[in-house]
Amino acid sequence: MSITAAQVKELRELTGAGVLDCRKALDETGGDLEKAAALLHERGVAKAAKRADRETREGVLDLYSHGGGRVGVMVEVNCETDFVARTEEFRTFAHEVALQIAANAPRWVQVEDVPEAIVEAEKARIRQEALAEGKPEHIVERIVEGRLAKFLEDSCLLEQSYIRDDEKTVEQLLKETIASVGENITIRRFVRWEVGETEE
């Protein structure tokens, strides 16, 4: 059964879970919205979503240099209190995020951060590519949807597969950490530099 973007959106609005978490839950439950929501609750994803509206003003900047100084990352990860910001668990999470950014070079933190103009340009590029490949017009939209999802998965930090466990996303790791420390955590911003790279 093919899961539609509308189903993913509906489950997302219901649970506050991420795009990939929702898609996976819907796949596992054969598209059953209620069962998918229950599955996400079981996994603690919904628990983390309940804390999402809490303000995060404390935290750390994690700096990471890789490959003998060829790649550098600075990431700001925030939490609610300075007590949690000083814990080893929180700092380890921030460092894992920096490693993820160094390894997989995301461009944005989450899907919502991607400018609409870039999404539209990517859709147009994918559509043109699919038509040039000779794909029938009636399946081009599904191709666009699938390849756009892949583009967002590669480009958005929270959608990426976690480098130490490709069975989970960075967003799942974030939600597990939120559930564990009992505070809201946000990845506020990051920069990644690579020697010799040029501005896009």
| Alpha-carbon span 8 to 187, nearest angstrom | 23
For residue 24, what are the domain limits? Answer: 5-50
Average pLDDT over residues 13-35: 82
My answer on whether 14 and 97 are in the same domain is: no
pLDDT tens for 102-123 read: 999 999 999 999 999 999 999 9
Give helix then strand counts, H and E, for the chain. 9, 5
Residue 70 maps to a domain:
yes
Give pTM, 2 decimals: 0.70
Q: In this structure, is residue 200 part of a structural domain? A: no
Last residue of a domain, one of 13, 33, 50: 50
- Mean of per-residue pLDDT scores for the chain: 87
Please check whether residues 121 and 166 belong to one and the same domain.
no
Q: What is the pLDDT of residues 175-194, one digit of tens each?
A: 889 888 888 999 999 999 99
- How many separate domains does the chain show? 3
**135-146, pLDDT tens digit by residue?**
888 888 888 888
38 and 128 share a domain? no
Q: What is the CATH number of the domain that holds 17?
A: 1.10.8.10
- Domain identity same for 165 and 100: yes
Does residue 81 lie in a domain region?
A: yes
Burial of 17 (0-12, 13-18, 19+ CB in 10 A): buried
Domain co-membership, 107 together with 169: yes
DSSP calls for 136-162: -HHHHHHHHHHHHHHHHHHHBGGGSEE
Please say if the pLDDT value at position 59 is more than 90. Answer: yes
Band (pLDDT 50/70/90 cuts) for residue 47 is: low
Tell me if 199 is assigned to some domain. Answer: no
Residue 119 sits in a domain whose CATH number is: 1.10.286
Which DSSP helix (H) or strand (E) runs through 2? none
pLDDT higher at 72 or 51 = 72
Residue 90 lies in a domain: yes
Residue 165's CATH number = 3.30.479.20
Task: Note whether 99 and 64 are same-domain residues.
Answer: yes
**Beta bridge mates, 60:** 77
- Say yes or no: 103 and 89 in one domain: yes
